[in-house]
Every structure is written in C-alpha cells, then in structure tokens.
A and B are shown apart, each in its own frame.
Chain A
Amino acid sequence: MAELLVVDGVTAGYGESVVLDDVSLSLEEGDRLALLGRNGVGKTTLLVTLMGLTRLHRGRISWRGADLAALPTHRRSHLGIGWVPQERLMFASLTVDEHLTSVARPGPWTPARAYKLFPRLAERRGNYGNQLSGGEQQMLAIARALMVNPALLLLDEPMEGLAPIIVQELMNVVRELAEEGGMAVIVVEQHARLALSLTRQAVVLERGRVVHRGPSAELARDADTLHRLVAVA
C-alpha cells in the first residue's frame, strides 16, 4: 500500500509556543491509527496541525507525496481529509441538512447515504445545529466530514461525553466505515481500549513527543505499558 500521510519531524504549536516536539508518523491508504496519551499531550494539536490550523515551526507533512505546508485549511479538506473536531463545532444557524449540503463535494458519499448511515439525522434534518443532543451532534459531525468524501478521517475524541449506548452505536459505524470504506482513520480517544480495538497501529504521545508506537493489538494486551503510558479508564 502507498503512503497516504507522512508526518516527519513536526514541531508545531500556537503562535510562538511549541506543543508538538519532533513528531513523526506515517499512515498508508486505508490504514487505521490510534493516537493516545493523557490530557494535554498534544493529540488534538496534531490533528489540527494536519488541518493547517497551527503554526508549523519545523518538519514536513506530506500527503500522497506532496507537501501540505503551504496549503490553506480548506484546500486540505478538498484533498480528502475529513475532520471531526473535538467539541464537534456545530453550525448553530444551519439545519442538519444544510450541514451536509453546504460542504458536500462530489463522490460516493452524499447526504442521502449519510442519512442511511444515521437514520436519527434523517429525522432531525430540519433541526438547527444547536438543537441536537450530544450523540446527534457527534453523528452529524461524522456525517458532515464524510461529505467531503475523505480518504482520511480524523476523529477527535468522538465518544467524549456520550452515553454508553450511543458509544456502541457510533463504534459500529466507525468500524464499518474503516473496514468497508477503504478510508484511513486516525482516532484520538481517551478510552484507550476502545481506540485500540478499532485500529491497527497505535502511537502514544507524552508532552508532545512520541513515546510509543506499535501494533494496537499488542498494546491492548500489554496492560502494564498501557497503564504506564495512558491512564486507562
């Protein structure tokens, strides 16, 4: 499989500050990566750096061999990076339907297909972004990201603050997307075991640096290491 994304020696942060320190990782087409670590170690910063929303001090990010550094955020989305942000970032004055149609780009993923994936959203298509439950917002955040027809889906704490039954439902959807869709996925998740069960490889960050990388299954079995690197809930 060809390399989809290569992050090479990236040092990045907000303004002058440095959050990520010399981070490297790579992802093949259709691959699934768990990005783990305690709170505030830079997991979200890495995802928003991929979206071009931080200041890249050093290092290189390449997408299918091309350098991403000079590309503005919206062009990265056009390349096929589907961003499901932490906090979901709903548009309060857009309906559910408009969340999908306003960002939709041609490809296999259409609003109709997203409604099939999340029937709950179809029932709510006329509701505004701020009139949804937490679970519905998360579904919409994922559906919205699918509208850009991504080759890589960035899921930033998709299960945060959701009821267990909703988590189960979303897990099934994400698994389905990852396994059938041929879509690469990077999951940032506090529930480490959940993220590991979804992915093939894992990267653990600590204070902005990569402190562990390896197959997800291996890390899931190694309770001591997992506990040392990530406070397991």
Chain B
Amino acid sequence: MVGNFIGVLFDGVAYGSLLFVISIGLSVTMGLMNFVNLAHGAFAMVGGYACALLMTRAGMPFLATLPVAFVVAAVAGIALERTLYQRLYKATHLDQVMFTIGVVFMAVAATTWVFGPSQQPVRLPEFLRGQVKVAGVGFGAYRLFLVAVVAAITVALHLTMTRTRFGAQVRAAVDNPVAAAGLGIDVNRVFGVTFALGSGLAGLGGALGIDVLGLEPTFPLKYMVYFLLVVAIGGAGTIKGGLVAAMILGICDVAGKYYVPQIGSFIIYFLMVALMIAFPAGLYGRRS
C-alpha cells in the first residue's frame, strides 16, 4: 500500500517533470514577453517527430536524437519568431490567440499530411526499460531517467538565469525594457534567444515524452490545456512557479486517475479552479 503510494507519487513526479520541461518556454513567453503562444505544444511535437523519425528512418539511437530534437525545435522556434511572432508582440491578446491557434491547426494538418495520423513509436535503449528496485519499491527505469534529466535541466536553467550576463540581460529586459534598451541591451535579440531556448526545451520535452505522453499529430491540441495550466497555476514568468505547478499537476493527475478513475480526468480542473481562486496571479505570480 505504502509502496504503491510511493510508486504513484513517483510517476506523478516524472509526469510533472515532462510537463515542466515542455511548459517552461511557454511560461517565459507569456510571463516575460507578454505573448500568448497557444502553439507552444507544436514545438514540442517538432522535437518529438525529430526524435522518432531519426530513430525509425535514420537508425539513430534514442539518446543521440535528444540534442537534435532540442536544436530542431529551437531553430523552428526562432524561424517563426523572426518571421511571424515578432509582428504580433504589440498586437492584442485576442489577435495572438487567433494567430497561434491557427499555427496549431496548420501544424496538426501538416503533420498528418506528411507523416500520417498514427502514433509514432519510440525504441528506448535496453538500460532504460524495465524496473529498478529501490528498497523493495519498483521504479520505472525510464521515469528515473526522466526525473534526472529534468533535474539537471532545471539546475542549468536556474544557473543561466541567475549567474550569467545573458540571464541578467533577460531579467533587465523584463524588469524595464525601455531602460534596458537605453543602456544598450538589444531587447529583441534577448527575447529571440529566450524564445528559441524555450522552444528547444519544448522540443526536448516532446522527445523525452514520447514514451509517456505519446506522439501523434494532435499532440499540440491534446496537451495544450496542461501546458497552459502549468503557466496559469505557477504564475507566468517564473521557473520556480512552473516547476511547483508542474509537479502539483503531474502528481494530482496521476494519483487522481489511479485512485478515483471515475473522475480522474477532472481532478486537475477542480484543482485549477481552487488554486486560481486562492492565487489569482499564480503561486509565484509577478503581476499584482
């Protein structure tokens, strides 16, 4: 019973880790750049497809595809940001929503057209399959791997934001874009790089998540609500908020579906309503 509970908790953490990696870029674009990007999940899908296709068509090993997934999604992100997104930074949120939902539909349709509507397979390496026994409790090896990778990414992200000159420039550009520009910081470039980084992380998350979330052309629609929930609950623009919110969502979703399967799918919505009433700006919201 206790072992069971720990197992569910752990699965929730692994699930939450995935949500975090994918959503953190969305949190940045919404919180820092004030841009509503509903198409964020499309970048995760790009990473996922890069990973799946490199494995099935080019025979690349899973681990080797992960950096490629990051790069491909980051490049896709920066290409769209420079050509299209940038024009809508000053547009109303409704325009941004209309535009990005359009991008989602195009991504879904294009992916179906090119790769077909079916689920993409993933072949995990031998050592990431099966279970690892710790103190009598079995943990999925792949989920352990997930948690470890995400923990490393979180630390790296935190250090980048707090210890590097680039991180300081991002924070300056967010605190006061006018003053930052007036002191020589190229705010557009800083935001562009940040956007690419966020898209790349989504792509990496999409690749890491094939085994857990699945991968098919409707991926960006299917998980859009989850990504938005992470941002809404965590408070846009904070790494810590996103992490905590993703963990809460991951654990409650997995636990809800396991213990009360009849209403399992609704648990996160109850949770969201309750948390949004208690913390309208999110747990670590910047806005007053």
Determine which of A53, A92, A98, A129 lies in contact with B182 in the assembled complex, contact meaning CB atoms within 8 Å: A53
Q: Which residues of A have CB within 8 Å of B186? A: 72, 74
CA distance A103 to B184 in the complex (A): 6
Given contacts A53-B182, A78-B184, A83-B182, contact A101 B165 (CB under 8 A): yes
Asked if residues A53 and B165 are in contact (CB atoms below 8 Å), the reply is no
Q: Residue among B165, B175, B182 with the most chain A CB within 10 A? A: B182
CA distance A92 to B174 in the complex (A): 10
Asked if residues A89 and B165 are in contact (CB atoms below 8 Å), the reply is no
Asked if residues B171 and A73 are in contact (CB atoms below 8 Å), the reply is no
Given contacts A94-B172, A102-B168, A102-B169, contact A89 B184 (CB under 8 A): no
Q: Which residues of A have CB within 8 Å of B185? A: 74, 102-103
Which residues, 185 to 237 on B, are CB-close (under 8 Å) to A?
Answer: 185-187
Asked if residues A94 and B168 are in contact (CB atoms below 8 Å), the reply is yes
Q: How many residues of B contact A (CB 8 A)?
A: 18
Asked if residues A73 and B179 are in contact (CB atoms below 8 Å), the reply is no
Q: Which residues of A have CB within 8 Å of B171? A: 91, 93-94, 98
The interface residues of chain A, by DSSP majority, are classed as loop
Q: Which residue of A lies closest to B183 (CB)?
A: A103
Given contacts A91-B176, A92-B175, contact A77 B182 (CB under 8 A): yes
Residue A144 lies at the interface, judged by CB distance under 8 Å to chain B: yes
CA distance A145 to B183 in the complex (A): 7
CA distance A94 to B178 in the complex (A): 15
Q: How far is the CB of B171 from chain A (nearest CB, A)?
A: 5
Which residues, 4 to 48 on A, are CB-close (under 8 Å) to B?
Answer: none
CA distance A219 to B187 in the complex (A): 41
Q: Which residues of B have CB within 8 Å of A135? A: none
What 1/0 flags go to B44-63 for Cβ under 8 Å of A? 00000000000000000000
Q: How far is the CB of A121 from chain B (nearest CB, A)?
A: 16
Asked if residues B178 and A53 are in contact (CB atoms below 8 Å), the reply is yes
Residue B181 lies at the interface, judged by CB distance under 8 Å to chain A: yes
CA distance A196 to B142 in the complex (A): 72
Residue A178 lies at the interface, judged by CB distance under 8 Å to chain B: no
Which residues, 203 to 220 on A, are CB-close (under 8 Å) to B?
Answer: none
Asked if residues B175 and A91 are in contact (CB atoms below 8 Å), the reply is yes
CA distance A148 to B178 in the complex (A): 16
Q: Which residues of B have CB within 8 Å of A94? A: 168, 171-172, 175
What 1/0 flags go to A46-88 for Cβ under 8 Å of B? 0000010100000000000000000011100110000101000
CA distance A206 to B98 in the complex (A): 47
CA distance A51 to B185 in the complex (A): 13
Asked if residues B168 and A74 are in contact (CB atoms below 8 Å), the reply is no
Q: How far is the CB of B127 from chain A (nearest CB, A)?
A: 41
Asked if residues A93 and B184 are in contact (CB atoms below 8 Å), the reply is no
Sample 10 A-B pairs with CB under 8 A, ordered by A number: A72-B186, A73-B178, A74-B186, A77-B183, A83-B183, A89-B178, A93-B174, A94-B172, A147-B183, A148-B183
Contacts A83-B183, A94-B175, A102-B185 given; 19 further ones with Cβ under 8 A?
Answer: A74-B183, A74-B185, A74-B187, A78-B184, A83-B182, A85-B179, A91-B175, A91-B179, A98-B171, A99-B172, A101-B165, A102-B165, A102-B169, A103-B172, A105-B184, A129-B175, A144-B183, A145-B183, A147-B183
Interface residues of A, Cβ cutoff 8 Å to B: 51, 53, 72-74, 77-78, 83, 85, 89-94, 98-99, 101-103, 105, 129, 144-145, 147-148
